[in-house]
Amino acid sequence: MPGTVHAIVVVRPDGRTSAAYHLRRTVASLAGGSRRPDAVTLAVCGTDPAVEDALEPGSLPDPTADGRGVRVIRLGRRTRFAAAVASAAFEPGPRGGTGMDADLLWLLAQDTAPEPEALARLAGQLELSPTLAFVAPKLVRHDRPERIVSLGVSMTRTGASVELAAGDLDQGQRDGITDVLGSDIRAVLVRGSVFRALRGIDPALRDADEGLDLAVAARLMGGRVALAPTTRVGVSGDGVAGLPFAETGSRRRMIIARRRAAQLHRRLTSAHPLLLVPIWLSLPFLALGRTIAQLVMKDPGRIAGEWAATILAMVRLAAIARGRRRLRRHRSVPWSRIASLRVSTALARERAAEPTEHDPDALPRGELHFFGGGGAWLVLAMAAVSLAAFPALLAWPALGGGALQPLRDTVAGLWADAAYGLRPTGWNVSGPADPFSAVVAVIGSLWPFAPSRALVLLWLAALPLAALGGWFAATRITDRPVLRITAGVAWALAPTFLVALTQGIPTGVIVHLLLPWLVFAGAVAHRSWVPAAAASLLAAAVIAAAPSLAPAFALVLLAGIIAAAVRRSGAGVARMLWVAVPTIVIFLPVAWAQLHAANPWGLLADPGAPIDALAQTADAGTRLWVSLGFPASSGAGWAELFSALPLWVPAALLVPIALLAASAAATPRWPVGLAHLALVVLGVATAVAATAIAARFDGANALTLWPGAGLTLAWWGMVGGAILTLDQLGRAEMARFRRHAGAVSASAAVVCIVTLVVLAAPALTAWARGATALTNGPTSTLPAYVEADSGGDTATGTIVLTAEADGSLAARVVWGGSETLGAHSTVLETRTAVDDASAQLAATAAALVSSTSPDAVAALAEQGIAFVLLAPGADAPAADVLRRESATALDQRDDLDPVGATERGDLWRVTSDIAARPSAENPAGGIAIEILQIAVIVIALLLAAPTGRSRARARQHPRIVGLTPAERAMDAGRARRLEDGAQEAQALPSEPTGEEAT
């Protein structure tokens, strides 16, 4: 005998105008069915005018079999599906009785529209099989009925739910499958006795995996669950029953978090009693491991949901206890009965993977052609030029001259200089290290056996590495090999770069080598987390080497964030915001120290060893040279090679590339052209401003900022703009004359290369002419006696006294066997006020050279300082007099033992007992900042590591940025022609073999 059916329809308006429409459609589907339910209850959660109009008498057709009409119950707006169904099923109706009086319960929502035969088929299947607990139909999208929403749900051994057919095209390929572990909760027809025994749906699941949980509980009671694949129910994904469609990124993240919370709840409710506490305690560590995995998989949007689900699962102890009682009360079969219906982790991972189908509107990405397009030959050619320009570097163990200094002897020493604590220079002063010290540590770690040698190798590889970076950065602008080679040559032969190489300015070299890769990654940072994370690390390294670029970097990043917001890409905005995070975090300690010292200008100071040339006063002539693209009045070696050289001679060699760059804004890709011209303006403004800002001190000399960093940024704006103009000129030629290569644009590129080679000739021949500042650098800036005595340990201190040209005496303290490139601290060297440590150092230095009191030497011994070095002073009469008087005073001290004259100056050793260097505790805040810095860098590295999925996504986007619709159509047509040609070539018959020919 057929059983009675009670249909429960849950309605939650949520302010959506479609709720009333969907409700009318669902009720009309019930009324038009071949079999109508015997009772219908509408559980309305919240109020909405449109829904209220639909509930007016006569507005809805009667969906019941006996014409009794629908029953409406009112619930709160936040009532979830499980609670709404329980209220409709268990609360008495106006005629007495409850939903439990019915034999079958049909669980529906406002957006579920069954086909006319749906109820008849579902009820018939239950009536024919008494062991069935409930039966579930095939859910399809109402707007796209050919697409399956759900047809069976299973889970892994760890409780992760797996949709077996969600998103598949419905071709009847799964209609033969009926026995599955569970199903979606929407439109299931469940026996009233089963629903009554289980007391409904577990409310702790929060709309996620409710059908799976109900099916598992029913199976443990001894019942079965079946599918009705030929019964279709259309759903619209409103999210009233089950989870909504993942049509937006935020909704997708919400769905993932809900399912994860449901999985953890299932694990805790079904765990063995002896394993419950260990599993509960392991949840935070499991969340940490999954966080790392999500970073590796380039999906950081899941991290917040992962931790929210973990915390929720851990604190809902009452819900866990209720769920365990529910299973324990009714379970009559072992868990092994459902083991065969679970799925493997590999299948779960395959089903959970996002589809990587190719977007038909996307432009296929072509091959890079690094070897075939001349990129490899360009790098080899620049390597040969580097060997010819700096031949002696092959035999040098370290570099000296300019702002170059040796590195620590060990990798541990390199990273110790990059950590918070006692500074390697100064009167036992603690503080944060410059971020540049970490950059130096990374470079030195590449050659751990002799870190100073790494700097020599960097200098030798600088020209080919610069050409490589310029070539790759140009791939964001053009796909023509000759133009990419032009960009590589132009970047390698930049005047600022050659000045930094020949004058020994490591910060300038590092910025020039990293900037093109920052352009390469930053141009597409809005597309994916891989380039965004790579750009964040590169930006941190660039700003660490050249803090003066921070304002320009902030403006460029702000423009990128605005562009992503205009495209209404929330993920793009998040990725662009992340680009700044590592830079902010690594500069946080230095920024705090400078702001606490009321010296914000100190944040712009150049790190590393001081650049002596910057102590000169910047006059109008120097600023003119800088505005023309030369970081000094030497004109990249032209003024040294030709005396009384007119300014316009080297500047004229920049005219071709400057004209091409200025024309970039007039091309069809004018937004890209304007962006490059903006870089030119920002770079030149930064460089000119740098000549007027003195933020650092070297003894009595105030040092202005290095203008080369801004000129490096401006140079890429010129190079990128010129390449863009040449690319557009070549496209116009190909479109008009139907030629595969533009002769005019190629000729213009050759002219640019020739003029740049001529411009670079004086700098590239500086070594042969003896005009370079590079020297066979010593392994130590202190006497060899000090180096041998310290053994590389920074516990030994040396006070260095230097006579200045104005007759003053400069004093500094060096710890260890040498000053090193990463040991300098801009926090100490940009101080504008005398602190206690500086006053004590000055007083001790003055006492050493002006009296015979033993208190001065005793103060040195108490601080752990074992040596006094009187370095060669300035070449001035007042300095010579002061140096002789100081040497005489030091010789007269009984507590100083003269070691003798060395190439670094006169050395004395303290004869009294040397105390250990006072230790400085790292405050809790400093430790927390270091942990935060390490965590951010690790996160960025994990995000930057490419995976197979990230590469597949990247191939769906063109490598070139900012293509116009016409260019996209042209490139797409060319790609199709090449593909068709390749297919035709494969279809051609091959030459017959000897046997076939006979």
| Model confidence pLDDT, tens digit, residues 782-807 | 888 888 887 767 778 899 998 888 78
Q: What is the pLDDT of residues 809-823, one digit of tens each?
A: 888 898 888 889 988
- Which three-class secondary structure string do you get for 191-234? EHHHHHHHCCCCHHHCCCCHHHHHHHHHHHCCCEEEEEEEEEEE
Task: Let me know if domain 5-245 sits in CATH 3.40.50.2000.
Answer: no
Instruction: Give residue limits of the domains in the chain.
Output: 5-245, 402-776, 784-817+834-910
Q: How many whole angstroms separate alpha carbon 840 and alpha carbon 859?
A: 9
Task: Report whether pLDDT(100) > 80.
Answer: no
Separation of alpha carbons 559 and 520, rounded Å: 17
Greater model confidence, 182 or 699: 182
Rg (CA), the chain: 38
Residue 337 or residue 228, greater confidence: 228
Rounded to whole angstroms, how far apart are CA atoms 86 and 10? Answer: 11
Distances in Å between the Cα of 800 and the Cα atoms of 703, 783, 896, 907 are 20, 11, 14, 9
Q: How far apart are CA 73 and CA 99, in angstroms?
A: 12
| Tens-digit pLDDT profile for residues 710-753 | 999 999 999 999 999 999 988 887 777 665 557 888 899 999 99
Q: What is the pLDDT of residues 518-572, one digit of tens each?
A: 999 999 998 889 999 999 999 999 999 999 999 999 999 999 999 988 887 788 8
In this predicted structure, the answer to whether residue 893 has a pLDDT above a threshold of 50 is: yes
Question: Of 168-172, 485-489, 762-766, which gets the smallest average pLDDT?
Answer: 168-172
Mean pLDDT, the chain, whole residue set: 84
Tally the C-alpha atoms within 13 A of residue 79's C-alpha that lie toward its C-beta.
21
CA gap 964, 656 in Å, rounded: 26
d(CA 817, CA 779): 9
Looking at residues 920-929, what average pLDDT do you find? Answer: 70
What angle do the packed helices 836-850 and 877-891 form, to 10 degrees? 80
Taken as a whole, the chain contains a residue count of 998
Triad 128, 133, 137: Cα angle to 5°: 75
Separation of alpha carbons 647 and 628, rounded Å = 9
Alpha carbons 73 and 43: distance in angstroms, whole number:
5
* CA dist., res. 659 & res. 679, Å (int): 15
- By the 10 Å C-beta count (0-12 exposed, 13-18 middle, 19+ buried), 336 is classed as exposed
Query: Where is mean pLDDT largest: 216-220, 242-246, 583-587?
Result: 583-587
HSE-up (13 A, CA, CB side) for residue 8: 33
CA-nearest of 685, 627, 690 to 654 is 627
DSSP 348-389: HHHHHSPP-PPPTTSPPP----TTTTTHHHHHHHHHHHHHHH
Contact criterion met (CB below 8 Å) for 366 and 975: yes
Rounded Cα distance, 766 and 639, in Å: 12
Residues above pLDDT 90, as percent of the chain: 28
Count the Cβ atoms, other than its own, within 10 Å of residue 274: 7
Residue 821 has, within 13 A of its CA and on its CB side, a CA count of 33
